[in-house]
Structure 1
Amino acid sequence: MEQRDFGGKSIPLLVMIHTRERLAVFIGDVLHRQNTCRVFSHVLFSCWPVPPEKLPEEIASFAVVHGWEVRVHEPAAYGVVADFQRAQTKKNSEGAED
């Protein structure tokens, strides 16, 4: 089975992601190598056991904490997905862009 290094830990690629901490490491690794990272509904609902209407807000807060932008949407046949990318600009404590 193929292994991948995520945050210093080598894990099988077929391991499900069930925690936000592991998801953050995974997304960070993907965004280090490419511009976007799509996360599908089965992972989102494993990491956020909240009512569906609260999911976009929870994911948006998670993205901000990690310095990412996210678009949560429902493309045809996929269910809910979250498309993460690195934040384009960072704001300092006074709200000005750095």
Structure 2
Amino acid sequence: MLAFSSAAGPRRRDAMIAAIGRHLPGAVVHGAAAGLHLLITFDDGVSDTDLAAAALARGVKAQPLSWHRQRPGRPGLVLGYGASAPTDIVDGVAAIADALR
């Protein structure tokens, strides 16, 4: 069983939120209060399935938000941060930004 220090989760979350602000300024962060995942949404015009595939091609796993919806909504990604070091999180968000360009 893996054990994380109580401060590890918030450090990882904070690293992800900061990286999103730096590399994906048009994204809106949801669900930052708790858990090991964040949702980010984008303006319409972004295909979240194409973006997730392009991120995966760069070594970053993210789930398209559309896979989890029952109704139409803004495109987005589900991003996990619980098992990654803060530096890896920053690199991953930068790779998603690269895929979005």
Report the TM-score when normalising by structure 2. 0.35
- Which structure has the highest strand share of the two? 1
Q: Which has the higher contact order (CA 8 A, sep 6+)?
A: 2
- Which protein is bigger by CA-based radius of gyration? 1
Normalized per residue, the structure richer in helix is 2
